[in-house]
Amino acid sequence: MSFSFISQLFFCFTVFIYFVSLRVESWGTPIIPISSLVTKSLYDTIFLHKDDTACPAKNFYPYQSFIKASKYFPQFGTTGCLATRKREIAAFLAQISHETTGGWETAPDGPFSWGLCFKEEISPQSNYCDSTNNDWPCFEDKSYKGRGPIQLSWNYNYGPAGKALGFDGLKNPEIVSNNSVIAFKTALWFWMTERKPTPSCHNVMVGKYVATKVDIAANRTAGFGLVTNIINGGLECGIPNDERVNDRIGFFKRYTKLFNVDTGPNLDCAYQKSL
Ligand SMILES: *[C@@H]1O[C@H](CO)[C@@H](O)[C@H](O)[C@H]1NC(C)=O
Ligand SMILES: *[C@@H]1O[C@H](CO)[C@@H](O)[C@H](O)[C@H]1NC(C)=O
């Protein structure tokens, strides 16, 4: 352990104790609301180009929709010490940015200023219907293509997301690209939900993930890379220098800098077995 790691741990702990001592009477309620960690001005700096005419999602992802949706998941961005909270939020915003990016190598302000540019998949390869899934049967004429900040896809995700959030995901998947609060809620639902044996992205980023022997043998230790593994490891992990993984990391680095927090270890999943 390096000195900086220990001192950071100590700092985190001190800050944590400070806030606990201030608010002991309100255990369980968010000590710092999301909106004070992600102000409108920070949000607009992070998503610098989301309302460009070049972006198909122009005006679809306003700040208030993100804040509204996050209140539905009171543990998001409110767990752990201040640095942990910022890092979790930065990781979430980075992952949804990669999923919806309109950036390219030489884009104005760099490729990592173009998150939230798309709200739905433009040329889907299929309707993303897994017809072998009997729990969440598809409607014949519906497409379960990528929609919203996390690009929710497949009937087996639309069904449970809708059930958890109060809409019919199988009958009305389009609502995810028509209602921005619901769109953000689906992304946060994906982020917060554990699908055993796969951990939730949230638990990984707040230090509640405990690696099993199998995980350790697969190099799946906590960090941003493991979140990438949860989201799309089957296609992106276990491959050295994958450009999609690097794009996710690029967003995360820019955002952690804006949040003034370090990235933590294990940024990529190049040497992880996919989940
Ligand atoms: C969703 O929006 C599209 C246009 O973006 C529109 O064609 C469609 O009818 C809307 N669907 C619902 C369910 O509101
Ligand atoms: C774990 O990482 C090491 C390098 O750090 C690599 O040599 C090994 O193959 C990885 N294991 C798996 C299962 O990918």
Residue 249 lies in a domain: yes
Domain range for 268 is 26-118+194-275
Q: What region, left, alpha or beta, does residue 32 occupy, with left being phi > 0 and alpha being psi -120 to 50 degrees?
A: beta
Choosing from 226, 271, 273, 275 the residue with most ligand 2 atoms within 8 A of its CB, the one to mutate for a pocket test is 271
Looking at the fold, whether 59 and 131 belong to one and the same domain comes out as no
Q: Closest Cα partner for 112 from 127, 125, 102, 123?
A: 102
Q: Closest Cα partner for 82 from 15, 21, 35?
A: 15
Which residues contact ligand 2 via a Cβ below 6 A? 218-219, 271, 273
CA-closest residue to ligand 2 atom 5:
271
CATH number, domain at 269?
1.10.530.10
Residues of the chain with pLDDT under 70: 1-31
pLDDT of residue 10: 58
Looking at the fold, whether 203 and 91 belong to one and the same domain comes out as yes
How many CB atoms are located within 10 Å of the residue 169 CB? Answer: 25
pLDDT of residue 26: 47
Ligand nearest to the CA of 272: 2
CA-closest residue to ligand 1 atom 2:
178
Which residues contact ligand 1 via a Cβ below 6 A? 172, 174-175, 178
Looking at the fold, whether 68 and 175 belong to one and the same domain comes out as no
The Å distance, Cα 122 to ligand 1 centre, comes to 15
pLDDT of residue 192: 98
Looking at the fold, whether 198 and 107 belong to one and the same domain comes out as yes
Choosing from 214, 219, 275 the residue with most ligand 2 atoms within 8 A of its CB, the one to mutate for a pocket test is 219
pLDDT of residue 32: 85
pLDDT of residue 94: 98
Catalytic residue positions? 99
CATH number, domain at 154?
3.30.20.10
Q: Closest Cα partner for 228 from 128, 92, 101?
A: 92
What is the sign of the dihedral through the CA atoms of 85, 91, 94 and 99? negative
Looking at the fold, whether 216 and 271 belong to one and the same domain comes out as yes
Looking at the fold, whether 145 and 163 belong to one and the same domain comes out as yes
Choosing from 59, 143, 174 the residue with most ligand 1 atoms within 8 A of its CB, the one to mutate for a pocket test is 174
CA-closest residue to ligand 2 atom 13:
218
Please name the amino acid found at residue 246. N
Percent of the chain with pLDDT over 90: 88
Looking at the fold, whether 105 and 217 belong to one and the same domain comes out as yes
